[in-house]
Structure 1
């Protein structure tokens, strides 16, 4: 004889509902429709209350659309370090030579920025003296001697 698995009965099913901390447009419409379907026919919902709820729904939808548009705008505003520092090409920069010397013994070196690249999200200046330095290593920025003299 075959027996039916008791888990197939609806009364044995676990019903778990996780409440949402936010109310979206669809949830708001479900609540409004439930109110309309279950209202007392002899005492229907006030017209003003209905208009008020519809206005709230429209406002909610507009706020959600605006939030989505702002989020898209913010994501598109992430600027590459190459673009952010491209204005430095042709500028003379000064930086401390990086070696194992004590802080007081380091030499200040000058170089003209000829290119900007990036590594792991950080800007790197490629200089005319062949060195590559991180943008945050620059201690001073000036006009290139090439720009000042008008010659290369």
Structure 2
């Protein structure tokens, strides 16, 4: 009787642990590539005008995107500082707050010592050591 052997597969999956390439291009790298391409082109068939103009347009758009990115980062920092300033008028004031959990509602009050930004948002730090999310404050009174 003939025995049939199962076919073995020599194919292995590619290594998935290799780091992924990033798309972090900067102006100097793009310019170096363009200059290398121009320096090493065949003099008998130089780069066509359309290709050169296209690459220069890409370079220009890359530069504009980087400028916009820097401006957005600056605006974000300005907005965060503005938010702290908005809540700074509570410092020295007595506030009432309500914290609701799944099981209970906690009401309290206290004098605000400082305002800070945390992962949970902006919080008012009270004299008794309590930190209250500014959006849980229900009233503000002169101290």
Instruction: State TM-score, norm by structure 2.
Output: 0.55
Give the alignment of 1:9-24 within 5 angstroms. 21-24=23-26
Q: Which has the larger radius of gyration?
A: 1
Per-residue CA deviations over 1:107-151 (Å, capped at 9, x if unaligned) read x5566x5x552478541246xxxx66433399662475x8xxxxx
In structure 2, how many angstroms separate the alpha carbons of the residues matched to 1:75 and 1:137? 20
In structure 1, how many angstroms separate the alpha carbons of the residues matched to 2:131 and 2:126? 6
Contact 1:81 1:118 in 2 (8 A): no
Stretches of structure 2 that go unaligned for 5 or more consecutive residues are 1-20
1:86 CA displacement = 3.7
- Over the aligned positions, Cα root-mean-square deviation in angstroms equals 3.8
Question: Following superposition, which runs of at least 4 residues in structure 1 exceed 6 angstroms of deviation?
Answer: 137-140
Contact 2:95 2:140 in 1 (8 A): yes
- Change beyond 3 A, Cα 1:57–1:91: same
1:24 CA displacement = 1.1
Stretches of structure 1 that go unaligned for 5 or more consecutive residues are 1-18, 97-102, 147-152
Are 1:38 and 2:47 an aligned pair?
Answer: no
Instruction: State TM-score, norm by structure 1.
Output: 0.53
